[in-house]
Amino acid sequence: MAYKIAVFPGSFDPVTYGHLDIINRGLRIFDTVIVAVAGNAAKKNLFTIDERLDLIRTVTGNDRVQVCTFDGLLIDFVSEKGASVIIRGLRAVSDFEYEFQIAQMNSCLNSSVETLFMMTSVQYVYLSSSIVKEVCSLNGAIDNFVPPEVKSALRKKYNLS
């Protein structure tokens, strides 16, 4: 069977247990999962690209996971990497409409690349990088949501000890 590569794109600002769950489940289906940190996102991010890449590398540490950044169209990056699948996580119904729109557009741009949606694991259904940042900035406990290295990096950003 052909070697299968999937790309898991996102902001990862910062990486959470929700992202790691999707990566680990992706590794059951694909030989390699490329975690692709969007470089040109319009969003205002807390962590720089390099900080986000470093955090993902620290908490994944599997030689079947590659971590890199991309600029420009995701679909072009996917082709350049020789991948045939884009993985996206789905949480609440609210994710659906936006994700459906992007998947349709990507399919129009390159129909040989498939988008695969993975349902979130139930314990992560309300977990997002934004909510973790908000809780941490208010000095709340985030141990159930991010690995210790990510927690330390977040607390440092918010000048918490």
Encoded amino acid at 24, one letter: N
Whole-Å CA distances, 39 to 19, 60, 63, 94, 105:
18, 20, 23, 24, 20
Asked whether position 145 contacts ligand ADP by CB under 6 A, the answer is no
User: Is residue 52 within 8 Å of 13, Cβ to Cβ?
Assistant: yes
**Near ligand ADP in 76-115, by CB under 6 A:** 88-89, 91, 95
Asked whether position 124 contacts ligand ADP by CB under 6 A, the answer is yes
Say which of 25, 81, 88, 91 is annotated catalytic. 91
Say which of 43, 130, 152, 156 is annotated catalytic. 43
3-class SS string, 35-54: EEEECCCCCCCCCCHHHHHH
Q: How many residues bind ligand ADP (CB under 6 A)?
A: 16
Asked whether position 10 contacts ligand ADP by CB under 6 A, the answer is yes
Catalytic status, residue 28? no
User: Is residue 92 within 8 Å of 125, Cβ to Cβ?
Assistant: yes
Residue from 46, 127, 136, 142 binding ligand ADP (CB under 6 A)? 127
Encoded amino acid at 70, one letter: F
> Which of the ranges 12-20, 48-56, 60-68, 103-111 carries the binding residues for ligand ADP, by CB under 6 A?
12-20
Say which of 52, 129, 133, 151 is annotated catalytic. 129
Q: In terms of CB distance, is 95 or 149 closer to ligand ADP?
A: 95
Closest CA to 21 of 35, 36, 31: 35
Whole-angstrom distance, CA of residue 67 vs CA of residue 7: 10
Catalytic status, residue 91? yes
Residues that bind ligand ADP (CB under 6 A): 10-12, 16, 18-19, 22, 88-89, 91, 95, 120, 124, 127-129
